[in-house]
């Protein structure tokens, strides 16, 4: 028998971040996975980041996690999305070499002092309401003060291809049925979700000449503060679209789709619909986008994003070959849908520890989320809180004004989710303050105080903050003459020339830090520093308003709700709110504010109830 401080169950993105974070805090941690060769696997798109997800990746990096560094190390294409919109919603995305990414993640775990074990975990062992360890498939007991479940799609997983049902956690990998039953035996309410993955094609069978080419960016910022740029050759992706023929094939055979035959009972992801769903729900569209993404630089497999479905294999071939450029394409791996169990996340505290079993933490798709980035962020937070609890330290609970991670966790534990949850910038009330470019400055102090990042890194972050302050001071005290110093910028009010401070000039939409740099008006400054200075000046009024809103929110967060308060005894609350408050039992007035159906009158009644309970 072996004993550990923390046992992490699962080696996906949540499990990898959890094990690494726990190790960083000096506790003895073991990671159990059914297959040591699939640690850090990307079972769906070989990419990291994207809309709002990049914010999570940057926050993981600021908190000392590994996803950003592994993504930069294995990136084969960088893109920046929403470049024509405001800075709050701009997002970085990388295409990655799938195999190299797995190797990069595993290498970091192997050198971090983590005890790696290949075994299937079948049972969570408890003594009363506290976890004591786990049992593997051989009946071997491993002791632990905390257990973190990061089981992904493996809990009672079932793959659907047409009428075929295959018990599996992913294609070619066994599922975890005993562990799902163990969670049910512990009294957890469970739900069922569905996701899927498109076919992989052989690149040599594709006619790329008729596809639209998407070249990699020439200039970009890497995900991690510790990265210097891409390590691999950058490659192109290609785009095409489905056709009326594609849609006819699907409509005529929709009864064979597991999604429409009634075989799948799990709730699908609304924001990542299968091709059948897109055709049936948006039938008036002439075509749906298909992106051909390389799986890596040493393989001919490509990922056909947009062609995910659960139809029989013979129909998958017809669908693929109805798409321009794919007329002779060969399917290397079939598309499939998969449904799996998850735990209703309102049964969790904000630390991601379960309310009913002390020392048991859940992270990733087991909490009803989707996406590598969402899973990784939860894994990190669960492990940090498990380690802090073991060490007798205060938990790490971020608030919604600090991080997208906090927005996600609050949404899950306070509101729950009836469909696979994914992050969007629209979920954040203070998104202008939560840009991907300032994650480092938002969270580094916290990370350093906990011991998640080194003194050297913190010194470099502080140096960059000093640079930003110095440049802002320089722009405030330095004046230029328009149009002498910048001929493309006209003076205001019809004047022949105008002397103006550089920070005032920068507030104009047509003026940028890059323009200052082009005319030799700036001292040396990093790209990140220049971006933060420009955003801070151009959006100063909006930022100040959000700071005031954050202040009001934090006042609500300071107001604690007594542990044993009886919500049914509070006058002025509706029965619906009493029920929801009793189910979630928020820790603060700020968390109560997020509960679905909460009203201003309800908040007023709750405030009064809290005051009376303390009198």
Q: What is the Cα gyration radius of the chain?
A: 26
State pLDDT tens for residues 69-85. 999 999 999 999 988 88
Strands (E), 29-69: 29-33, 47-49
Contact 411, 418 (CB under 8 A): no
pLDDT score, position 463:
96
Compute the average pLDDT of residues 167-187: 96
Q: Say yes or no to pLDDT of 615 above 70.
A: no
Give the number of C-alpha atoms closer than 13 A to the C-alpha of residue 295, restricted to the C-beta side.
Answer: 21
For the chain, the average pLDDT equals 94
Where residue 44 falls among pLDDT bands split at 50, 70, 90? very high
pLDDT score, position 286:
80
Q: Say yes or no to pLDDT of 259 above 90.
A: no
Compute the average pLDDT of residues 194-199: 95
Tell me the C-alpha distance between 47 and 422, whole Å.
15
pLDDT score, position 299:
97
Domains and CATH numbers, the chain: 2-43+102-192+342-428 (3.50.50.60), 200-339 (2.40.30.260), 455-543 (1.10.10.1800), 559-613 (1.10.150.570)
State pLDDT tens for residues 324-345. 999 999 999 999 999 999 999 9
Is pTM, for the whole model, over 0.75? yes
Which one is predicted more confidently, 271 or 82? 82
The token duo for 614 is: 């303390």
Contact 65, 17 (CB under 8 A): yes
pLDDT score, position 611:
85
pLDDT score, position 36:
96
State pLDDT tens for residues 378-437. 999 999 999 999 999 999 999 999 999 999 999 999 999 989 999 999 999 999 999 999
Q: Say yes or no to pLDDT of 496 above 90.
A: no
State pLDDT tens for residues 78-118. 999 988 888 889 999 999 999 999 999 999 999 999 999 99
pLDDT score, position 365:
97
State pLDDT tens for residues 424-441. 999 999 999 999 999 999
pLDDT score, position 316:
97
If we measure between CA atoms, which residue out of 125, 121, 122 comes closest to residue 186? 125
Which one is predicted more confidently, 535 or 286? 535
Compute the average pLDDT of residues 131-139: 97
The token duo for 491 is: 């003076």
Where residue 467 falls among pLDDT bands split at 50, 70, 90? very high
pLDDT score, position 198:
96
Dihedral of CA 12/18/21/24: which sign? negative
Q: Say yes or no to pLDDT of 12 above 70.
A: yes
Dihedral of CA 590/592/595/597: which sign? negative
- Residue % of the chain over a pLDDT of 70: 100
State pLDDT tens for residues 146-175. 999 999 999 999 999 999 999 999 999 999
Compute the average pLDDT of residues 459-485: 95
Tell me the C-alpha distance between 584 and 598, whole Å.
13
Cα 442 off chain centre by: 17
How many residues in the chain?
615
The token duo for 298 is: 């040493």
pLDDT score, position 85:
87
Unique residue bearing structure tokens 């000046």: 537
Q: Say yes or no to pLDDT of 519 above 90.
A: yes
Q: Say yes or no to pLDDT of 563 above 90.
A: no
State pLDDT tens for residues 197-240. 999 999 999 999 999 999 988 777 899 999 987 789 999 999 99
Q: Say yes or no to pLDDT of 59 above 70.
A: yes
Q: Which residues of 449-486 are buried (b: 16+ CB within 10 A; e: fewer)?
A: ebebbeeebeebbeebeebbeebbebbeeebbebeebb
Tell me the C-alpha distance between 443 and 71, whole Å.
20
Which one is predicted more confidently, 301 or 605? 301
User: Range with the lowest mean pLDDT among 299-313, 403-417, 601-615?
Assistant: 601-615
Angle, alpha carbons 292-296-297 (nearest 5°): 110
State pLDDT tens for residues 360-373. 999 999 999 999 99
Q: Say yes or no to pLDDT of 131 above 90.
A: yes
pLDDT score, position 583:
86
3-state secondary structure of 352: coil
Q: Say yes or no to pLDDT of 359 above 60.
A: yes
pLDDT score, position 535:
94
Q: Say yes or no to pLDDT of 138 above 80.
A: yes
């Amino acid at each position: 028998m072996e004993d550990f401080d923390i046992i992490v169950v699962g080696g996906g993105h949540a499990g990898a971040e959890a094990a690494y974070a726990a190790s960083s805090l000096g506790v003895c941690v073991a990671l159990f996975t059914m297959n040591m060769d699939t640690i850090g696997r990307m079972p769906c798109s070989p990419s990291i980041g994207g809309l709002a997800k990049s914010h999570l990746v940057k926050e993981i990096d600021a908190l000392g996690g590994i996803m950003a560094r592994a993504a930069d190390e294995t990136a084969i294409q960088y893109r920046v999305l929403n470049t024509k919109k405001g800075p709050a919603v701009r997002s970085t995305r990388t295409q990655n070499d799938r195999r190299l990414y797995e190797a990069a993640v595993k290498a970091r775990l192997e050198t971090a002092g983590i005890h790696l074990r290949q075994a299937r975990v079948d049972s969570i062992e408890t003594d009363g309401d506290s976890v004591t360890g786990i049992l593997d498939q051989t009946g071997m007991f491993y002791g632990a003060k905390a257990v973190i479940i990061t089981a992904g799609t493996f809990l009672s997983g079932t793959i659907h291809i047409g009428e075929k049902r295959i018990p599996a956690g992913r294609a070619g990998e066994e599922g975890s049925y005993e562990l799902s039953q163990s969670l049910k035996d512990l009294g957890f309410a469970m739900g069922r979700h569905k996701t899927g993955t498109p076919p992989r094609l052989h690149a040599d069978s594709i006619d790329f000449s008729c596809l639209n080419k998407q070249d990699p960016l020439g200039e970009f910022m890497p995900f991690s503060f510790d990265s210097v740029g891409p390590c691999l050759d950058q490659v192109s992706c290609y785009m095409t679209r489905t056709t009326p023929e594609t849609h006819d094939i699907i409509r005529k055979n929709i009864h064979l789709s597991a999604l429409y035959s009634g075989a799948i009972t799990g709730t699908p992801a609304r924001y990542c619909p299968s091709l059948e769903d897109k055709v049936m729900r948006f039938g008036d569209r002439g075509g749906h986008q298909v992106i051909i993404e390389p799986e890596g630089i040493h393989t001919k497999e490509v990922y056909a994003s947009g062609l995910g479905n659960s139809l029989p294999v013979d129909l998958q071939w017809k669908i693929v070959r109805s798409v321009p450029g794919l007329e002779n394409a060969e399917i290397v791996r079939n598309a499939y849908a998969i449904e799996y169990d998850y735990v209703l996340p309102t049964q969790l505290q904000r630390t991601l520890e379960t309310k009913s079993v002390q020392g048991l933490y859940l992270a990733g798709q087991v909490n009803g989320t989707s996406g590598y980035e969402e899973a990784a962020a939860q894994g990190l937070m669960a492990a940090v809180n498990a380690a802090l609890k073991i060490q007798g330290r205060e938990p790490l609970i971020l608030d919604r004004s600090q991080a997208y991670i906090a927005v996600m966790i609050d949404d899950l534990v306070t509101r729950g989710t009836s469909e696979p949850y994914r992050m969007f910038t629209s979920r954040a009330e203070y998104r202008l303050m939560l840009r991907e470019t300032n994650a480092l400055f938002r969270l580094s102090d916290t990370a350093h105080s906990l011991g998640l990042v080194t003194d050297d890194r913190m010194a470099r972050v502080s140096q960059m903050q000093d640079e930003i302050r110095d440049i802002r001071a320089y722009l405030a005290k330095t004046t230029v003459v328009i149009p002498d110093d910048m001929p493309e910028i006209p003076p205001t009010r019809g004047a022949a020339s105008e002397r103006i401070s550089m920070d005032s000039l920068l507030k104009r939409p047509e003026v940028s830090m890059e323009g200052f740099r082009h005319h030799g008006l700036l001292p040396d400054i990093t790209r990140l520093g220049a971006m933060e200075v420009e955003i801070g000046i151009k959006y100063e009024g909006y930022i100040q308003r959000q700071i005031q809103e954050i202040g009001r929110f934090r006042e609500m967060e300071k107001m604690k709700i007594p542990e044993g308060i009886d919500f049914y005894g509070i006058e002025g609350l509706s029965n619906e709110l009493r029920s929801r408050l009793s189910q979630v039992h928020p820790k603060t007035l700020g968390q109560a504010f997020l509960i679905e159906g909460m009203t201003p009158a309800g908040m007023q009644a709750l405030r009064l109830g809290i005051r009376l309970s303390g009198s």
